[in-house]
Structure 1
């Protein structure tokens, strides 16, 4: 069968290759791959910035954002042939640490976890794959066209859960939310904010293309100025770009008692001048919280399923701006000005 692969640590190694069918010991459920979404993580792995092949393999199958259809499932598993499923990306470390043992593998403490298509496990950009039932989340058939958005939705589902938990430390009645970045994660973060009944402001540099319309049709407010210049003071801020200057704004432009969640991963090696004393004074006197969030556990996948189920299906469909057949994978990685989410189509749902 065909799979999209790279050789970890080797640039320009991206290729479509024939590989063996998934071994039975990879999981008791056989899944037909339907699609994978592409994101910056895939680009960085292709660029040999990181990525780790499974033990005994010289290559890594790409793809962590995924959707598939069950071909075979064991009796008593609550799964049946024909079910739509998404594979959970991160798997707990084998020790396990206390967090992984508690099912909170997104908070792994020793770094021994594995991740499909990223670290130590083959990804989902292949015609068939296997997983155990507990590593799969079932989707309603109505989400067949947009279920590939589930994994990025889990990232912001976790972020919002953590915001709610932190807010519960004291009086918490958020009214205004800011999201920086109108990429897929930012738009999905805004979706969950609107679903919570908040006034949502989304900041991005793009002035044309689909992003402004997607934000407006969500019922949120689109900005092309900076958060500083806008004067918006939010109770909740979600940073989804990783751009250092934007991160600083998110950390310094919140309202009293604001909670800021950082989800964008920044590049390193560049310096930015900042008045740390002023930032500290504002955070302390304003009872503000800044925290980072990455990955998701099963609870967040289940929350994301509910969020997508409540969303307007046509709006979700507009996030997917290009679908590229697996055989033409090279075209998928050629950036188009109008791209929001690009999907590699392995098979029609």
Structure 2
């Protein structure tokens, strides 16, 4: 079968390969891959910054954002032929640690987890794959064209869940939410904020293209100025860029008792002059909370599936700005100015 794979650690080694059909030992459910979404993680793996092949393999099949359809499944699996499914990216470590044993592999404490298309497991950019039923999430058929957005939605579903749990520390009645970055994760964070009835403000540098209209179509406010310049004082902030200067604004420019969630991963080596004493003083006197969040467990996948089911499907479809056939994969990685989410079509149509 056709697969899109890299040699981990080797820059620009991405190639279309023929590999064996998935082994039955991989899982009892056989899935036909439909779509794979691309993101910055894939770019970093392709440029050789990280990535780990499965044991015994030279190559790593890429692709963690995914959508597929069940070809066959055991009768007692809860899945049937034709079901629309998404494979859960992170799988618990084999020890397992206390968190993985509790089904919270997103909080793995020993780092022995594996991740499809990233760390120790082949990804979903292949014509077929196998998985056990507990590693698959069934989607509403109405999400056929947009279900590939589930995995990035899980990131912000987890972020919002943790924000709300932290909010229960004391009185918590948020009115205003800020999202920094209008990429796919930022836009989906804004969607979940609007679904919660909040006044949502989204900040990005782009002045034209699809992003401003996508934000406004949600009923949110789009900003091209900075958080400092706008004067918006948020109760909840989701930082989705990883840009150091934007991160510092999200940490320091907000209302009292604010909760800031960092989801963007920053590059290292960039230095900022920071008044640590001033930041500490404001955080302590303002009852601030700042926390980081990455990955997701099954509960977050299910919450994300409900959020997408409730969302406007036309709006979700507009997030996917390009669809590229697998055989033309090089074009998918040629960045276009109007790109929001680029999707590889593993199975056309």
Calculate the TM-score normalised by the size of structure 2: 1.00
Aligned to 1:102: 102
Within a 5 Å distance, the mapping from 1:220-239 to structure 2 comes to 220-239=220-239
CA RMSD after TM alignment: 0.5
Aligned to 1:212: 212
Residue deviations 1:108-166 (CA, integer Å, cap 9, x gap): 00000000000000000000000000000001110000000000000000000000000
Aligned to 1:140: 140
Aligned to 1:198: 198
Residues in 1 aligned to 2:4 and 2:65: alpha-carbon distance in whole angstroms: 14
Q: CA deviation at 1:258?
A: 0.1
Aligned to 2:44: 44
Residue deviations 1:242-279 (CA, integer Å, cap 9, x gap): 00000000000011000000000000011111111110
Aligned to 1:65: 65
Structure 2 residue matching 1:76: 3-state secondary structure: helix
Residues in 2 aligned to 1:67 and 1:299: alpha-carbon distance in whole angstroms: 18
Aligned to 2:17: 17
Structure 2 residue matching 1:278: 3-state secondary structure: helix
Flag as ranges the 4+ runs of structure 1 deviating above 4 A. none
Aligned to 2:290: 290
Structure 1 residue matching 2:322: 3-state secondary structure: strand
Residues in 2 aligned to 1:347 and 1:289: alpha-carbon distance in whole angstroms: 44
Task: Please say if residues 36 and 343 of structure 2, whose CA atoms lie closer than 8 Å, have aligned partners that are also in contact.
Answer: yes
Calculate the TM-score normalised by the size of structure 1: 1.00
Residues in 2 aligned to 1:274 and 1:177: alpha-carbon distance in whole angstroms: 25
Residue deviations 1:58-98 (CA, integer Å, cap 9, x gap): 00000000000000101111100000000000000000000
Whether 1:262 and 2:262 are equivalent positions in the alignment is yes
**Any gaps of 5 or more consecutive residues in structure 2?**
none
Aligned to 1:272: 272
**Any gaps of 5 or more consecutive residues in structure 1?**
none
